[in-house]
């Protein structure tokens, strides 16, 4: 095998509780994430060394990119002497809270493992991914998952609970601006009252996970919203409009700026989608995007 193409899905945080700051500067969290059927494509060809090209000029293609960081980490973990030419078709927007860079890094690790003859099992690849970035390991879970720690501790959501999410229609929408993850976490650190204690986070998660009668919409939570919404007022204004006019319960994914709403027969059937899209453009302008997809 000398060339292959790997899909790198976006993710959304259906449940995100930041529980406190660690001594190493990272934050502790409890989060339920799910990949979606929308994302980037990473094409990989065997080469003498590692290089990266991208069809989006705003994406850095130097050593700061997580794809190349993942490649270096793979070489260090395996001793593999080969290289790869990466070509990234970028569809996941930057500064969105959709895990695009982390997913691209996970895709790179999968591709390199295939090119090298599968020297690492999936669990070991996930360990390498966790060293590259806090969100990278979740893309090896294969579906809805629970993240803990700084994001490196990942376990698939129990099948009974995952089945209540997998395949659900979701609308992901983003304004023309992004939100810096580092800025959002710094704002939370400056306002420790915004943290949700670990026991409370686990209790909220368990209340949904352990009762099949509780709808998926009851899981939705993100305690990063208050600090982000305080600066980016366009986000809460639109979310309230969508709730009042269409009955949609929308949340921000990760540190934003992308938001999402689960769709169903009672809260956003096909006939409503054009009106919802129009409301998003009316609030956020023509630079806003809205993508209908499904949870993986």
Instruction: Output the domain CATH number for residue 50.
Output: 3.30.230.10
209 and 127, same domain (yes or no)? no
Cα separation of 128 and 47, whole Å? 22
Tell me, yes or no, whether 127 and 173 share the same domain.
no
pLDDT at 272: 85
| Count of structural domains, the chain | 2
Coil, strand, or helix at residue 169? strand
pLDDT on residue 2: 84
Domain identity same for 122 and 188: no
Whether residues 173 and 267 share a domain: the answer is yes
Burial 201-215 (b: 16+ CB within 10 A, else e): bbebbeebbeeeeee
> Residue 156 gets which letter from DSSP?
E
Are residue 256 and residue 286 in the same domain, yes or no? yes
Whether residue 146 is found in the same domain as residue 223: no
State the CATH number of the domain containing residue 244: 3.30.70.890
CA distances from 95 to 98, 109, 175, 259 (A): 8, 22, 10, 12
CB–CB of 256/275 below 8 Å? no
Residues of the chain with pLDDT under 70: 265-270
- Give the pLDDT confidence score for residue 266 in this predicted structure: 47
Full domain range(s) for residue 178: 166-294
Last residue of a domain, one of 160, 195, 224: 160
Nearest residue to 144 (alpha-carbon basis) of 265, 268, 252, 294: 294
Considering the domain architecture, whether residues 218 and 178 belong to the same structural domain is answered as yes
Positions marked catalytic: 11, 135
Are 124 and 156 within one domain?
yes
Q: What is the pLDDT of residue 134?
A: 85
Q: Are 89 and 41 in contact (CB under 8 A)?
A: yes
**Same-domain pairing of 61 and 184:** no
Please report, in angstroms and rounded to a whole number, the separation of the first and last CA atoms in the chain. 28
Q: Which residue among 160, 194, 211 closes a domain?
A: 160
* pTM for this prediction: 0.93
Q: Tell whether 137 and 181 lie within a shared domain.
A: no
**Under DSSP, is residue 40 helix (H, G, I), strand (E, B) or coil?**
strand
Percentage of the chain modeled with pLDDT above 90: 91
pLDDT of residue 269: 53
Choosing from 127, 160, 193, the residue where a domain stops is 160
Are both 155 and 177 inside the same structural domain? no
183 in the same domain as 115 = no
83-115 pLDDT, tens digit per residue, is 999 999 999 999 999 999 999 999 999 999 999
| Cβ count within 10 A of residue 11 | 29
């Amino acid at each position: 095998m000398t060339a292959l193409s790997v899909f790198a899905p976006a993710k959304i945080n259906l449940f995100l509780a930041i529980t406190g700051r660690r001594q190493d500067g990272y934050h502790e969290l409890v989060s339920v994430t799910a990949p979606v059927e929308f994302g980037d494509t990473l094409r990989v060809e065997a080469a003498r060394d590692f290089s990266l090209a991208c069809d989006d000029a705003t994406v850095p293609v130097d050593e700061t990119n997580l794809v190349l960081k993942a490649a270096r980490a793979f070489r260090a973990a395996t001793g593999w002497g080969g290289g790869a030419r990466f070509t990234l078709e970028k569809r996941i927007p930057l500064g969105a809270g959709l895990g695009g860079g982390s997913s691209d890094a996970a895709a790179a690790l999968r591709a390199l493992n295939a090119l090298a003859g599968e020297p690492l099992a999936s669990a070991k690849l996930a360990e390498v991914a966790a060293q590259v970035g806090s969100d990278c390991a979740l893309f090896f879970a294969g579906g809805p998952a629970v993240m803990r720690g700084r994001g490196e501790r990942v376990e698939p959501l129990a099948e009974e609970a995952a089945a209540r999410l997998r395949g659900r229609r979701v609308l992901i929408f983003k304004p023309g601006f992004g939100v810096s993850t580092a800025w959002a976490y710094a704002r939370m650190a400056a306002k420790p009252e915004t943290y949700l204690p670990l026991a409370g986070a686990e209790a909220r998660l368990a209340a949904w996970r352990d009762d099949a009668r509780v709808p998926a919409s009851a899981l939705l939570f993100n305690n990063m919203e208050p600090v982000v919404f305080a600066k980016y007022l366009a986000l809460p204004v639109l979310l309230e409009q969508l709730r009042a006019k269409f009955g949609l319960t929308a949340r921000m994914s990760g540190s934003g700026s992308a938001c999402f709403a689960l769709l169903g027969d009672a809260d956003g059937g096909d006939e409503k989608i054009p009106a919802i899209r129009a409301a998003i453009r009316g609030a956020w302008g023509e630079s806003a995007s809205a993508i209908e997809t499904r949870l993986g």
